[in-house]
C-alpha cells in the first residue's frame, strides 16, 4: 500500500542520534554511524522525529510500504519501559491517532502491563514535522453552537486540521465515514459564504490544481482515502477559470484508481464571487 513514511538523507545525517529518542516506536536505530529506518511496520509516517534532526536529514515521502502495525510496535515499545510507553502514548494522542491509541491501551491490558501514570502538565503545542501547524486535529469535538451569532460574525465551520491535502494523514480518524468538501484554494476567499454554504458538517481538503506540482501524489493520496475510509459523499468547489477544472480531474482519477463510485456534487464560483 502507498502511505506516508520517513526517509533519511544519508549524506546530511551526521550520526548525532537526536532523532532516536523522538521515535519511541523503534522505527529508527543507529547503524554504522547513521540513523536508519529499520522497519516500515514501525513507522507511522507522522514525522515526530523530523523536528529533532538538526541537519534536516529526515523528511516524509509517500511510497509503497508495509501497513503500520500498532501491536507489533507495542512489542517494541514495552521493551523500553514505562517512559517509552508513556512517550509513545503521548505521541499518538498529540497527533489525534485515537484508533492506534486505543489499540495500544488494549495491548497493555491484554498483556497485564500497567498503564504508566501521566503527569499533569500544561498543554503545549507539539511539534510534529518541526511545525505545530501540521498537528492533526478533529475540531468537531470543540465546536459549540452560538445561537446569537450574526452573519457579520459567523462561526467557523471548519471541522479538521490540517486542511491542505499535502499535509493530511490518509489514516486520520475524522476521515472515516466522512462527507468530504474538496476545494480549490481560491474558493474560500472568492465566495463570501463559503463556511455556511459548503463547509458545514463536512471534512475539508484543499489544494491548487494549477500551482501545486505533486498532483500525481494527490491522486494516489485521495485514492487511498476513498478506498479505505468509506467516504459518504464528495462536494467539489472550484473557480470558473479553466485551470481550476483540474480539481475534478484529480478527484476523478483518484476514484478510478480506488475503484469506487461515490456521489459527487460539483460547484463553480465566478471570479467576482458568485455561485454559477
Q: Which residues pair with 275 in a beta bridge?
A: 269
* Residue 198, domain member (yes or no): yes
* Residue 226, domain member (yes or no): yes
* Residue 169, domain member (yes or no): yes
193/242 same-domain check: yes
Tell me the residue ranges of DSSP E strands in 127-274.
137-138, 160-161, 179-184, 203-207, 233-239, 264-269
Gap between the Cα atoms of 130 and 192, Å rounded: 33
Q: Are 237 and 269 in contact (CB under 8 A)?
A: yes
Q: What is the pLDDT along the chain (276 residues), one digit of tens a residue?
A: 788 888 889 899 988 888 877 777 778 888 888 888 877 777 887 776 776 688 888 888 888 877 888 888 888 778 878 887 888 888 787 777 788 888 889 989 889 988 876 554 444 445 445 555 555 666 666 555 554 545 545 688 999 989 999 889 898 889 999 999 999 999 999 999 999 999 999 999 999 988 888 788 899 999 999 999 999 999 999 999 888 989 999 999 999 999 999 989 999 999 899 999
Residue with cell 529518542: 21
What's the CATH number where 162 sits?
3.40.50
Name every residue whose Cβ is closer than 8 Å to that of residue 34 and which is 6 or more positions away in sequence.
Answer: 8, 10, 13, 15
* Residue 130, domain member (yes or no): no
85/162 same-domain check: no
As a whole number of Å, the CA-based R_g of the chain is 21
- End-to-end alpha carbon distance in the chain: 39
Q: How far is CA 111 from the centre of its chain?
A: 30
152/221 same-domain check: yes
* Residue 275, domain member (yes or no): no
Number of domains within the chain: 2
Residue 208: per-residue pLDDT: 93
264/141 same-domain check: yes
102/150 same-domain check: no
* Residue 17, domain member (yes or no): yes
223's grid cell: 485514492
7/104 same-domain check: yes
Residue 121: per-residue pLDDT: 43
113's grid cell: 502491563
Residue 19 sits in which domain range? 2-110
Burial class (CB in 10 A: 0-12, 13-18, 19+), 259: exposed
Name the CA dihedral angle for 249, 255, 256, 261, rounded to a multiple of 10 degrees.
-120
Burial class (CB in 10 A: 0-12, 13-18, 19+), 216: exposed
Last residue of a domain, one of 64, 92, 110: 110
Residue 181: per-residue pLDDT: 97
164/239 same-domain check: yes
56's grid cell: 534536516
Residue 117: per-residue pLDDT: 67
Q: Summarize pLDDT for 29-72 with one digit per residue, the tens.
A: 888 888 888 777 778 877 767 766 888 888 888 888 778 888 88
167/246 same-domain check: yes
The DSSP code for 254 is: H
Gap between the Cα atoms of 86 and 105, Å rounded: 11
Residue 127: per-residue pLDDT: 46
What's the CATH number where 52 sits?
3.30.70.20
Amino acid at each position: 500500500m502507498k502511505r506516508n513514511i520517513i526517509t533519511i538523507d544519508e549524506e546530511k545525517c551526521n550520526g548525532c542520534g537526536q532523532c532516536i529518542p523522538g521515535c519511541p516506536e523503534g522505527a529508527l536505530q543507529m547503524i554504522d554511524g547513521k540513523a536508519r529506518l529499520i522497519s516500515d511496520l514501525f513507522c507511522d509516517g507522522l514525522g515526530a522525529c523530523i523536528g529533532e534532526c538538526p541537519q534536516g536529514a529526515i523528511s516524509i515521502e509517500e511510497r509503497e510500504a508495509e501497513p503500520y502495525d500498532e501491536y507489533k510496535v507495542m512489542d517494541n515499545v514495552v521493551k523500553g519501559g514505562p517512559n517509552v510507553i508513556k512517550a509513545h502514548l503521548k505521541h499518538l494522542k498529540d497527533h489525534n491517532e485515537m484508533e492506534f491509541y486505543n489499540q495500544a491501551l488494549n495491548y497493555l491490558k491484554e498483556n497485564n502491563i500497567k498503564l504508566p501514570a501521566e503527569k499533569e502538565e500544561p498543554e503545549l503545542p507539539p511539534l510534529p514535522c518541526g511545525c505545530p501547524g501540521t498537528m492533526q486535529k478533529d475540531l468537531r469535538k470543540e465546536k459549540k453552537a452560538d445561537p446569537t451569532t450574526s452573519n457579520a460574525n459567523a462561526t467557523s465551520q471548519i471541522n479538521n486540521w490540517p486542511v491542505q491535502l499535502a499535509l493530511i494523514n490518509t489514516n486520520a480518524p475524522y476521515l472515516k465515514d466522512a462527507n468530504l468538501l474538496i476545494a480549490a484554494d481560491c474558493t474560500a476567499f472568492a465566495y463570501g459564504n463559503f463556511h455556511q454554504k459548503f463547509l458545514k458538517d463536512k471534512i475539508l481538503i484543499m489544494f491548487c490544481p494549477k500551482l501545486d506540482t505533486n498532483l500525481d501524489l494527490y491522486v494516489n493520496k485521495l485514492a487511498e482515502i476513498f478506498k479505505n475510509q468509506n467516504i459518504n459523499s464528495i462536494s467539489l468547489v472550484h473557480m470558473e477559470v479553466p485551470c481550476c477544472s483540474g480539481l475534478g480531474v484529480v478527484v476523478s482519477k483518484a476514484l478510478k484508481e480506488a475503484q469506487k463510485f461515490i456521489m459527487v456534487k460539483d460547484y463553480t464560483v465566478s471570479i467576482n464571487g458568485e455561485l454559477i
